[in-house]
């Protein structure tokens, strides 16, 4: 009889549980219901129409069953909910979009009004719509794992939180803490999120569900520590001053290029002044409007391009990568140490080879400093930091290389030195080990020729600083085999990087299009154009920093070397002003030396001041007046022209790759969608006309590429460059329009 009673009880519980496609529920002995989220066929949970409908059904089920408490949890490995399903959202028509947003807001309001306590158990990323679900709950608990991202990243794709996030987060943690997180779309690791009150508890991953149940049973009162400013913001006129100041600062930073930013501030203002419902209405209407903006279209496109890049790489390389367990890095300078850190963080054992004990100790110091910063930011724990650090084995001996699956060279930019290293590696490494160079400007082909097995030599061009820059160029020579390239690309992916495949050519892709921009900025400075004004113009246009700020960041010594080594091999060759050599002789190396184009103060927060002496040294011509539009054209058009040459020379596979690489490698105005997308928004016919005018006035460096002339004359997009050579070519007069007009006159 007892067994029969148990079976009946099990049947009763089973009958009261939901078994839907994306949602399932279970009830434990304490009458705590768990709502399990598991979107089939996907590695992460995202909220689409089906899941929203089923979650609505689950909440109705909760309202009927009246459990003691509700846990929202995920069946996915290390993922709670990554946000809304952007593939579905992007395809929605305006009316359907409004309905979708309204249904989500109403659902989350129902969750917030449930009579029993609710908790979200974050076993992994909790972003966007997932975080908004968490904000609607009573409690939030997360696994203690620094790789978990918690936040509202919607502004990064040109939109804003649409299910109450913009309304609820400021009321939970205060306006001054919430606004930067929403405006920047910045996710936080669990410990940082707890510190500011976004979540309530951080526990060991294996104790996550137990902690969630404990919170529901004990129903603790959470005391959140608000800043004095946020407490003051509860008073209307003080709140208005705080929000107005935030709006002014936001416009100064974004120059009005990101419409979502000002919309977020307006929603927060309305939610506090007019109430919850008014905030939700403003949120819903703003998101609908933002979906139709070019900024949203471009930012969302970049998101999808990044998702597709792995598939594109696999299509280009018909080979599976080899497994990499052990790697070596030759050289532990800024780049080498950054690469070694990234490899070790990816779980790969690293042998770090330096010239002497002092250099090896300095390399370890750089790695230790990066790890300390990551511990401080909450990305990793102290214990994880020790494990990562212990994976790096420094040495001054060329031993142990026979165990390595890949070796990455990161020494000084000297071809003789690099050829010597590759000759050594060829003899010391296994025949199947991949040999890679991190060079930014030298020929991989020439290095490969120093080996007996050039098929295994590739380029792996990381960007500085390695821990922060998301792009890696995988460089292919005519001799590189697909297995070596696929292995190199897979290592970059394990390091969390976006890898693009590029043919070996001067400057590869990113530096190839960057060099004309930097050189033209120097030429403008020679003509007397103001350095700070040029930097400001380009920041207003959408660059993260101006050309001279960038050169100071790179270092004038490195910048000069790259400009000369690549510029000399471009058509036509690009000249670096002699004043740069004078600057180097004075040890004006940029930010790292304290003086470059600007004088950088050691005092935190103090703005750099123009180095007037270098600015005067640069002026070598009769000063000319330049309009902002002329400066924009002279800096940007050579980049576009070079991008077309890159495509026509088959250096990369598509305009989309150039867009992705320029955004993630250069920080090129993301809201414009990348270099080629920006060019298409202008129109190739207009670009051609402007280049012709500049070529007539300033000479051959502005001469339009043959492919660009064809694109312009046929009003085609940059993506059509690949069709240029295959198209029947009428006789195209390659002289600029202005020259043709001049010849007719004479």
The residue among 297, 217, 163 whose CA lies nearest residue 678 is 297
Tell me if residue 702 falls in helix, strand or coil: helix
Residue 226 φ/ψ, nearest 5 degrees: -90, 150
User: Tokens 């330049």, residue?
Assistant: 626
Burial of 682-704, coded b for 16+ CB within 10 Å and e otherwise, reads eebeebbbbbbbbbbeeeebbbb
Beta bridge partners of 37: 23, 74
Neighbours of 569 (CB within 10 A): 16
Q: Where does residue 153 rank: exposed (0-12), middle (13-18), buried (19+ CB within 10 A)?
A: buried
The DSSP secondary-structure symbol of 595 reads: B
Cα distance between residue 727 and residue 708, in whole Å = 14
Q: Is 600 annotated in the active site?
A: no
The residue among 408, 399, 403 whose CA lies nearest residue 484 is 408
In sequence order, what are the residues at sequence separation of 6 or more whose Cβ sits closer than 8 angstroms to the Cβ of residue 464? 334, 335, 338, 554
The residue among 497, 394, 393, 477 whose CA lies nearest residue 436 is 477
DSSP collapsed to 3 states, 18-30: CECCCEEEEECCC
Tokens standing for residue 108: 């989350």
DSSP collapsed to 3 states, 243-265: HHHHHHHHHHHHCCCCHHHHHHH
Cα distance between residue 513 and residue 264, in whole Å = 35
Strand 150-151 with 457-462, pairing: unpaired
Cα distance between residue 166 and residue 158, in whole Å = 14
With contact defined as beta carbons under 8 Å apart, do 610 and 677 qualify? no
Is cis: bond before 163, omega within 30 of 0?
no
With contact defined as beta carbons under 8 Å apart, do 533 and 652 qualify? no
With contact defined as beta carbons under 8 Å apart, do 296 and 302 qualify? no
Radius of gyration, CA atoms only, the chain: 29
Q: Which helix (H) or strand (E) holds 203?
A: strand 201-203
∠ CA 429-434-440, nearest 5°, is 115
Number of residues in the chain: 746
Helix (DSSP H) and strand (DSSP E) numbers for the chain: 32, 19
With contact defined as beta carbons under 8 Å apart, do 523 and 534 qualify? no
Give the up-direction half-sphere exposure of residue 667: CA atoms within 13 A in the CB hemisphere: 15
Give the up-direction half-sphere exposure of residue 124: CA atoms within 13 A in the CB hemisphere: 15
With contact defined as beta carbons under 8 Å apart, do 115 and 165 qualify? no
Cα distance between residue 553 and residue 514, in whole Å = 14
In sequence order, what are the residues at sequence separation of 6 or more whose Cβ sits closer than 8 angstroms to the Cβ of residue 559? 518, 551, 590
With contact defined as beta carbons under 8 Å apart, do 461 and 508 qualify? yes
Q: Which helix (H) or strand (E) holds 420?
A: helix 415-428
* C-alpha distance from residue 323 to each of 56, 404, 432 (Å): 44, 11, 11
With contact defined as beta carbons under 8 Å apart, do 720 and 711 qualify? yes
Q: Give the active site residue among 461, 561, 600, 626.
A: 461
With contact defined as beta carbons under 8 Å apart, do 136 and 108 qualify? yes
Active site residues: 461
């Amino acid at each position: 009889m007892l067994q029969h009673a148990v079976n009946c009880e099990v049947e009763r519980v089973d009958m009261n549980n939901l078994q839907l496609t994306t949602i399932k529920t279970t009830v434990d002995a304490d009458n705590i219901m768990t709502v399990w989220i598991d979107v089939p066929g996907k590695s992460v949970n995202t909220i689409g129409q089906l899941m929203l409908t089923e979650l609505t059904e689950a909440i109705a089920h909760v309202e009927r069953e009246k459990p003691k408490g509700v846990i929202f949890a995920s069946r996915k490995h290390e993922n709670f909910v990554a946000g809304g399903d952007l593939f579905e959202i992007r395809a929605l028509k305006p009316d359907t979009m409004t309905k979708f947003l309204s249904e989500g807001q109403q659902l989350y309001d129902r969750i917030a009004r449930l009579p029993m306590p609710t908790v979200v158990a974050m076993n992994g990323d909790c972003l966007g719509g997932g975080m908004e679900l968490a904000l609607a709950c009573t409690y939030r608990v997360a696994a203690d794992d620094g790789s978990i991202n918690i936040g509202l990243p919607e502004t990064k794709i040109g939109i804003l939180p649409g299910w109450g996030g913009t309304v609820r987060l400021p009321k939970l943690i205060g306006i001054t803490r919430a606004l930067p997180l929403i405006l920047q779309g910045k996710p936080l690791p669990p410990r940082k999120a707890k510190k500011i009150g976004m979540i309530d508890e951080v526990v060991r991953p294996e104790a996550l569900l137990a902690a969630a149940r404990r919170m529901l049973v004990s129903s603790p009162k959470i005391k959140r520590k608000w800043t004095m400013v946020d407490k003051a913001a509860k008073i209307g006129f003080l709140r208005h001053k705080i929000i107005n100041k935030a709006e002014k600062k936001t416009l100064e930073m974004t120059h009005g290029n990101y419409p979502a930013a000002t919309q977020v501030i307006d929603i927060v203002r309305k939610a506090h002044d007019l109430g919850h419902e008014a905030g939700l209405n403003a949120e819903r209407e703003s998101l609908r409007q933002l979906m139709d903006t070019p900024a949203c279209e471009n930012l969302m496109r970049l998101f999808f391009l990044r998702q597709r890049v792995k598939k594109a790489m696999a299509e280009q390389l018909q080979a599976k990568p080899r497994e990499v367990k052990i790697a070596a890095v030759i050289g532990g300078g800024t780049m080498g140490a950054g690469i070694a850190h990234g490899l070790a963080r990816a779980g790969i054992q690293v042998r770090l080879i330096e010239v002497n004990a002092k250099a090896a100790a300095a390399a370890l110091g750089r790695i230790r400093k990066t790890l300390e910063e990551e511990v401080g930011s909450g990305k990793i724990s102290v214990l994880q930091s020790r494990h990562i650090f212990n994976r790096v084995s420094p040495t001054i001996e060329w031993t142990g290389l026979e165990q390595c699956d890949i070796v990455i060279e990161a020494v000084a930019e000297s071809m003789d030195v690099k050829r010597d290293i590759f000759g050594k590696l060829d003899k010391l490494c296994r025949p199947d080990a991949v040999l890679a160079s991190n060079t930014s400007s030298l020929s991989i082909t020439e290095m490969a020729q120093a080996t007996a097995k050039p098929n295994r030599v590739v380029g792996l061009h990381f960007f500085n600083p390695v821990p922060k820059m998301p792009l890696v160029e995988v460089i292919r020579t005519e001799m590189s085999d697909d297995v070596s390239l696929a292995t190199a690309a897979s290592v970059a992916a394990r390091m969390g990087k976006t890898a693009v495949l590029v043919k070996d050519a001067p400057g590869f892709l990113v530096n190839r299009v960057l060099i004309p921009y930097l050189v033209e900025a120097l030429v403008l400075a020679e003509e007397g154009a103001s350095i700070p004004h040029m930097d400001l113009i380009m920041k207003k246009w959408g660059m993260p920093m101006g050309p001279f700020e960038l050169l100071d960041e790179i270092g004038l010594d490195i910048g000069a070397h790259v400009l000369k080594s690549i510029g000399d091999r471009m058509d036509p060759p690009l000249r670096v002003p002699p004043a740069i050599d004078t600057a180097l002789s004075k040890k004006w190396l940029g930010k790292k030396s304290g003086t470059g184009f600007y004088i950088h103060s050691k005092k935190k927060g103090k703005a750099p001041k123009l180095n007037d002496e270098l600015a005067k040294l640069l002026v070598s011509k009769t000063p000319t007046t330049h309009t902002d539009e002329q400066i924009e054209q002279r800096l940007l058009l050579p980049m576009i022209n070079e991008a077309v040459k890159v495509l026509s020379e088959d250096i990369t596979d598509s305009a989309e790759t150039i867009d992705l690489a320029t955004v993630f490698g250069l920080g090129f105005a993301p809201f414009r969608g990348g270099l080629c997308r920006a060019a298409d928004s202008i129109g190739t016919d207009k670009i051609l006309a402007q280049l012709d005018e500049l070529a007539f006035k300033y000479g051959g460096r502005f001469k339009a590429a043959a492919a660009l002339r064809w694109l312009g004359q046929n009003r085609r997009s940059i993506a059509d460059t690949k069709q240029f050579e295959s198209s029947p070519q009428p006789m195209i007069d390659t002289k600029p329009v202005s020259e043709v007009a001049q010849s007719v006159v004479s």
